[in-house]
Chain A
Amino acid sequence: MLIRRKPDIPSSEITDEKVYWNRRAFIRAAAGAGALALGAPVVNRLVAAAAGGRRDGGGQQGALEDKLNTYEEITTYNNFYEFGTGKGDPAKYAHTLRPRPWTVEVTGEVHRPRVYDIDELLKLFPLEERVYRLRCVEAWSMVIPWEGFPLASLLERVEPTSHARFVEFTTLYDPEQMPGQRRAVLPWPYVEGLRLDEAMHPLTILAAGLYGKVLPNQNGAPLRLVVPWKYGFKSIKSIVRIRLVREQPRTTWNLVAPHEYGFYANVNPDVDHPRWSQKRERRIGELFKRPTLFLNGYADQVAHLYAGMDLRKYF
């Protein structure tokens, strides 16, 4: 494993008992009745996580401690323009989204293209807890305990062809379920993309839950990308299609404002947004700002992906 184990956050700080017991509800809801047979191994895995098994939230943290944001903070303050442009809008309006039934099409430059039912996916790939920092391009950040699986597991399963160089992701387009799409604030549907090596990196996950519960609609149910070293807008929500492609795919914010949002969107304190500084960030729940860390503190794990690249040009 490429990931270096950093000093674990005491499990007492991370998962309270209530949440721990909720895992069972989560598994039931996520995997559905058919998962009963699979229940035991999944539970074991999650118990291991709760006991402080994997903590990838480490990286190059300075003297500042990373404390989990509360469930309340994570689920009431975020951007999800499909439900409105205010950061309280997703929590208010995302109840119209129907995360079941749901399918995810995996297609393009792969040998085994398939349309997966979401519950089938969750059975195929056991969920693990990943505690990641999330840095929004708007200069705020959180620490979030995701439940997810490596995107690489899914990509390996569909066997990318030798032509596959990028991965393109697409969010659901349905103005009935996503009323924000009735207005052309962005070109819908939302699309995002990664280079194949970024997509295959073990830190890159598809998340289906947080805090041991099923992913709430406003956070991108039923399945979203999480790429912790990139600005939050790269972590596309409510995914319906994953397509492996030869050329660098178009990405929504880059289409809207190419001088402000690049394809890579790696967290970088030395490359400012044209309208504001990226040197510092406000961790939600804190008054004093923190210095923003290069690659959001995951440089040890991912800096090699960008060796030799001019990150001012490829921002």
Chain B
Amino acid sequence: MVVRTQGWWVRRVVKPAVFVLALWPLAWLVRGALAGDLGANPIEKITHWTGFTALTFVLLALCVTPLKVFLGLPALVHLRRMLGLYGFFYALLHFGVYWVDQTVFAGVGFSPRLVAEDVLERPYITVGFTAFLMLVPLAATSADRMVKRLGARRWRALHRLVYFAAAGGVLHYLWKGKMEEDWAVAYGLLLVGLLSWRLVAGRLRERARAVPARGVMGVVPAHPSPLEVGD
């Protein structure tokens, strides 16, 4: 009999399932576009949907570490990179649709001028664009060999950018709406929660290192150092 480890289940079962599920928002859009089912303003729907999905995946990626601690499932970490990359993928779609809407559909070809103007003149676009830019180096350095090449410490430092990108995304979302978007507020609160947890957990981890037997946040460590917050 073969004994399946937690890591095996996550890598061989959960991860492929999440990979497929994460394509659902795209499939939903494509189906809706083909069926002419995206409402009276399909471009707006596509723009909002891809942006919302991008932010959702970035926040999901940020949830992985706390979840693995609270659920006692360290193998969940195998999902994090994929969730983050999906966040980048949808952000890229979001930006692409925005670009086309801003230029091609305004009748000026692919000209970057209108995009540049918009990015410079409209603060909420500036913030959204910056958040998107911050995701680029993270996606580019997501491969294992990049961790080696950069060195774990520098890689970790770089990838803290994801918190700024997420904050930019939430701000962009809140700002664009008329301050009444329930989801934007919920995502903002979630991000604040994640950040606070990270700061508190980071401090507790330092203390836990000093007194290893005590456990952290009510969770008795099932293996050494369950709170690899910064990795």
Contacts and interface: CB of A to CB of B under 8 A. Distances in A.
A187 interface: no
A77 B39 contact: yes
Instruction: Summarize A's interface: helix, strand, loop or mixed.
Output: loop
Interface stretch (A193-201, A274-282, A305-313): A274-282
A43 interface: no
A157 interface: no
Contacts of A72: 40
A61 interface: no
A22 interface: no
Given A288-B105, A289-B107, A275 B41 contact: no
A277 to B, nearest CB: 7
A285 interface: yes
Contacts of A302: none
A288 B180 contact: no
Nearest to A279: B106
A88 interface: yes
Interface in B146-189: 175-181
Nearest to A273: B122
Given A275-B175, A289-B106, A77 B180 contact: no
Interface in B93-132: 105-107, 118, 122-124
Interface in A284-303: 284-285, 287-289
Contacts of B118: 277
Interface in A40-87: 72-73, 76-77, 81, 85, 87
Contacts of A185: 178-180
B181 A85 contact: yes
A127 B199 CA distance: 65
Contacts of A287: 43, 105
A183 B176 CA distance: 20
A140 interface: yes
Contact of A284 (B41, B122, B124, B179): B41
A276 B178 CA distance: 13
A185 B184 CA distance: 14
B106 A76 contact: no
A289 B114 CA distance: 13
A85 B180 contact: yes
A287 B46 CA distance: 13
Nearest to A280: B106
Contacts of A88: 39
Interface band, chain B: 10 to 19
A157 to B, nearest CB: 37
Contacts of A285: 40
Contact of B40 (A76, A81, A276, A289): A76
B127 to A, nearest CB: 11
Contact of A77 (B40, B122, B175, B176): B40
Interface in A175-209: 183, 185
Contacts of B123: 275
A276 B105 contact: no
B41 A282 contact: yes
Contacts of B40: 72-73, 76-77, 87, 284-285
B165 to A, nearest CB: 21
B105 A289 contact: yes
A289 B39 CA distance: 17
A287 B176 CA distance: 22
A106 to B, nearest CB: 31
Contacts of A81: 180
Interface in B201-226: none
Interface of B: 39-41, 43-44, 105-107, 118, 122-124, 175-181
Given A85-B181, A282-B43, 10 more contacts: A77-B40, A81-B180, A85-B180, A275-B175, A275-B176, A277-B118, A282-B44, A285-B40, A287-B105, A289-B105
Closest 5 CB pairs of A and B: A77-B40, A185-B180, A85-B180, A73-B40, A284-B40
